[in-house]
Structure 1
Amino acid sequence: MRSRVTTARRLRIGLGIGCALFFGGCAWIPKGDQPAQYLEAPEMTETLAEVTSRLQNWPADRWWEQFGNPELNGLIEQSLNDNPGLKHAAARLRQATSLVKVEGARLLPFLEADASLTYERISQHGVFAALNPEVAGIRIMYGIINPLSFRYEFDFWGKNRAMLEAALGHAAAEEAETAEVRLRLTTGIARAYFRGQALQQQLDIVKTIVGIRRELKTLAETRFRLGLDNDQPVKIAVADYEAAFKRQAAIRDQLDVQRHLLARLVGKGPDEGAHLFAKPKVIVPSQMAAPDHLSLGLLVHRPDLAAALYRAHAASRLVRVATTQFYPTIDLTGFVGFNALTLAKGTDKLANFLFSGQSFTYGLAPGLRMPWFEGGRLRGELGAQRAEYDAAVELYNDTLLEAMREVADSLSAWQTTNEIMASHKRLVASLGDDWRLAKVRLVNGLDDDREVLRHRYPVLEQEYALRALESDQLVAAVDLIESLGGGYHNPDIEKRPKQNPS
């Protein structure tokens, strides 16, 4: 009776010590520094108040169609199918989606079947033979067939679920980054097209200017031969003609650069851009989308901001995973099957033995593993994951501030280019009146051809500048569209990020 009491007491003491060690080991987790905090989206009331043209919606997904240029539409559609960078982003998205399945499998039991056949000769000088001399030197065959084996890890601390959530966050970030690549690609094509189109129109104007300079040079040479002027006007006319010719060559080179860039963005070789800008008509939008409550909606409509938030969410889940590494791992393994062993000279009997009822076997093995001493590895991993989370949050904050700046800059540029365009059109109209008056004076015999050509030259120069301003206006429209997300819309994302990383 005394022996039973002593045994029970020892069992209780041992259990108490084991529980104390168990929970003591689990509780030894460093607190760490205060985690990084998400910034609240700043207000833009005063910035939006300066914009006179404002609508209550965001850009459409196929925003490029509002410019009404079939050639631009075709280029962008082709790039969405053939651009290697966009295909690379799509491949990364598929990879991230596949990894979600990998992490999700951790929550389920692993079922498999295995079989093996072993032929072995037992050494005559080994430890086993020394303890069992009668089996020294014999040859054996050992067969195992387990049609059902399983392993399952109990997710008491949420480690596997946190890994799945981290994988889902990475996949969502890749999806948003794919949308960001698409946005950068389409806006890059639109900018290059508008600049190339302006260069094509400027090239046509410069060709006309070269013709005027050639006519003035011819007139100066004629007057010099007739003795009406000295050679000074000829020298000036020749210099002006050569300068115009050099200008024409420089614009043609810039135009080739834009054509090659467009071909590269589309995913083709340089020859694909040789015949671009055949359809120069472009509709300049009279108004651009700049909705109220813009700062609150950026997270839903900016793919780079959404990707940064998803990365931060994934990092917070990895902090949780690193925390659970301090807790014990509890799993269960088991098998059901047959195994048999026979001497090598009786291998013909192995099959009969293996599939007999007496060879039926099964096993069940619960397991417990708890970290006691890892040399600081677990605390190092937890510290690294916390630092990664802080970096991800600060990247989100930086992306948010950059997004607000881009919106403010693009709104200001759009407003400014509209005002400059209106003023410059009035200037061109005024110079056009002077040119028409010079033609009237020529008809009435009050002026000669030189005055008409000289009055036409400033008109052409201002038309040349007008083409550049039109390009700036269109590029400003594209910049505004890009800063507002270019039609990206993710209603599933949270409007305000969570502050707690674990």
Structure 2
Amino acid sequence: MRKQFFPPAAPLALTVALALGGCVSLAPAHQRPAAPVAAAFPDAPAVNGEAAAGIGGEAAAGIAWRRFFPDARLRQLIELALAGNRDLRVAALNIEQARAQYQIRRAERLPGVALAVNGNRATGADDAIASNYSAGLGVGAFELDFFGRVRNLSEAALAQFLATAEARKSAQISLVAAVANVHLSLLADDELIDLTQKTMAARAESLKLIQLKYDSGVVSKLDLQQALSLVASARVTLAQQQRQRAQDANLLTLLVGQPLPATLAPAATLAATTLAALPAGLPSDLLAARPDIRAAEQQLLAANANIGAARAAFFPRISLTATAGSASGELGGLFSGGSYGWTVAPQLLLPIFDHGRNRANLGSARAGREIAVAQYERAIQTAFREVSDALAGQATFGEQLRAQRAVAEAEAERFALAELRYRNGVASYLDLLDAQRSLFAAQQAAVLARLLQLQNQVTLYRVLGGGWSEPAAR
């Protein structure tokens, strides 16, 4: 049996070949597209003298949610949600899956070494049995990446992994805001239920008086039926509000990922809840603050890398198979002296006729890049619109709340005057009923205006990139 032995230059040649792999990349250079939005947000200046400075002048993305939400109960709810929310858990697992895919692609850039043991016995022309045994280490079909195909595929997988990590950050930011908004809705539900119960109790007392007057013949049955209608309508409103509160509580349980523990801190009132004002900054700040925009840019980088891999498919693909070990015609002499050898088998594959497959792959990759550019620009436009909407709310909800509270105060005074006039026989019971309905509606609207103001502040915090913190910092 003829044996091949390692010449001194063989390892050096293999090392040079590996070093040359991946020295060329055919991917287009990445250029961040210009932001297709205005240079400043509308309604960004302070309105009615309200301050627009954040905590210590920090941008929203730099303010941790623990500092933005001072309520102890809300902090506990957010902590529980970050630990138990299933959507956030899926987002974290998606990162692990993307990381594994990237590691697979990265491993293709390096040669894989395997232990190979072979044995072969066959008969020849004269019926003699010939034996051949070998054992050693082998490198199987390792591609010398001269044109960057494998490296571009690895870079695309890396960009996909980074985009998935950014998507996980977006999921956490959305979850923090969702928990805060549902918590505020529950506070509003409690205030509305309390308001309705008090209104219903007051109407029930009025009904008793009207019933006595009716029994005494002082008022007509029309007044009695109107009083009964007011009490019944209050019961309808109370049932609706109790149902809404139960649904909000169920939603909060879903977000938290477990039944709410009894050890939560006492709930604050909606009126006592305060959140810091936030500076809007510039639209260009969103490129660094919003994880969804960063994820869209990573997708654009992946699309560029896919173009490089598609271009490399037009060039020769060079692979290398090599083994080094021991070979012998007898099993007992497999590891005896003088039986060591090596083989090197390079292969070059140059596409000639592929029926347009490579050209179609390149066209698909280029179209994918254009899609990624449009999605990136769309992400910026969406972020600009969300921030603009939240700023419009910040500029108007404060004035709306003040005006609505003024309406409630005026309606309370009107009701007091109408009740006094009715008791003195100056006004009709219809005037009193109208004043009661208007007061109740104005009080409910004031609670809802406060809720919308606080939820808009939470939304502004979210759309400016606030709410993310590293797991170790929680």
| Shorter-chain TM band | 0.7 to 0.9
Name stretches of at least 5 consecutive residues in structure 2 with no aligned partner.
1-25
Task: Flag the 1:372–1:176 CA change in 2: closer, same or farther, 3 A.
Answer: same
Determine the C-alpha separation between the residues in 2 that align with 1:376 and 1:457: 75
Partner in structure 2 of residue 12 of structure 1: none
CA pair 69-441 structure 1, distance change in 2 beyond 3 A: farther
> For 1:105-137, what per-residue CA distance to the aligned partner results, in whole angstroms no more than 9, with x for missing partners?
22322222111344x565xxxxxxxxx5312xx
Structure 1 Cα separation of the partners of residues 434 and 361 of structure 2? 77
Comparing 106-115 and 379-388, the one that deviates more: 106-115
Partner residue, 2:126: 134
Shift of 1:446: 9.8
Letter in 2 for 1:300: A
Q: CA deviation at 1:276?
A: 8.4
Whether the 8 Å CA contact 1:438–1:447 is kept in 2: the answer is no
Which secondary structure state, in structure 2, belongs to the residue aligned with residue 47 of structure 1? Answer: coil
Give the Cα separation in 1 of the matches to 2:388 and 2:39.
Answer: 8
* Secondary structure at the counterpart of residue 68 of structure 1: coil
1:376-391 superposed matches below 5 A: 376-391=356-371
Aligned-pair distance for 1:100? Answer: 2.3
Instruction: Give per-residue Cα distances to partners, 1:420-443, cap 9 Å, x unaligned.
Output: 01112223334445567789999x
Which position in structure 1 is the counterpart of 2:288?
300
Alignment of 1:326-475 (within 5 A): 326-341=314-329, 350-433=330-413, 458-475=438-455
Q: Which one of 169, 181, 194 corresponds to residue 159 of structure 2? A: 169
Aligned residues: 433
Q: Distance in 2 between matches of 1:397 and 1:182?
A: 23
Matches within 5 A, 1:77-156: 77-118=79-120, 120=121, 122=123, 132-135=124-127, 142-149=132-139, 152-156=142-146
Identity level (%):
24
Give me the CA root mean square deviation.
3.3
Q: Is it true that 1:196 corresponds to 2:186 in the alignment?
A: yes
The aligned residue for residue 10 of structure 2 is none
Residue 305 (structure 2) pairs with residue 317 (structure 1): yes
CA gap 1:178/1:358 in 2 versus in 1, 3 angstroms: same
* AA in 1 matched with 2:360: G
TM-score with structure 1 setting the length: 0.78
Measure how far apart 1:307 and its partner are: 0.6
CA distance in 2, matches of 1:68, 1:37: 38
> Mapping of 1:238-317 within 5 angstroms?
238-269=228-259, 272=260, 278-281=266-269, 284-285=273-274, 288-292=277-281, 294-317=282-305
SS at match of 2:114: strand
Rate the CA distance shift 1:149–1:134 in 2: closer, same or farther, 3 A: same
- Counterpart CA distance in 2 for 1:278 and 1:437 is 38
By how many angstroms is 1:482 displaced?
1.5
| Shift of residue 45, structure 1, vs aligned partner | 3.3
Change in 2 beyond 3 A, CA 1:277/1:432: farther
C-alpha separation in 2, matches of 1:101 and 1:275: 43
Q: Report the secondary structure of 1:153's partner residue.
A: strand
Identify if the C-alpha distance between structure 1 residues 335 and 49 changes in structure 2 by more than 3 Å, giving closer, same or farther.
Answer: closer
In structure 1, what is the equivalent of residue 195 of structure 2?
A: 205
Q: Which deviates further from its counterpart, 206-215 or 424-433?
A: 424-433
Check conservation: 2:43, 2:392, Cα contact below 8 A.
no
TM-score, normalised to structure 2, is: 0.82
Q: Which residue of 1 aligns with 2:18?
A: none
Q: What SS does the aligned partner of 1:113 have?
A: strand
d(CA) in 1 for partners of 2:224 and 2:412? 27
- Aligned mate of 2:210, from 214, 217, 220: 220
Q: Is the 8 A contact 2:114 2:139 kept in 1?
A: yes
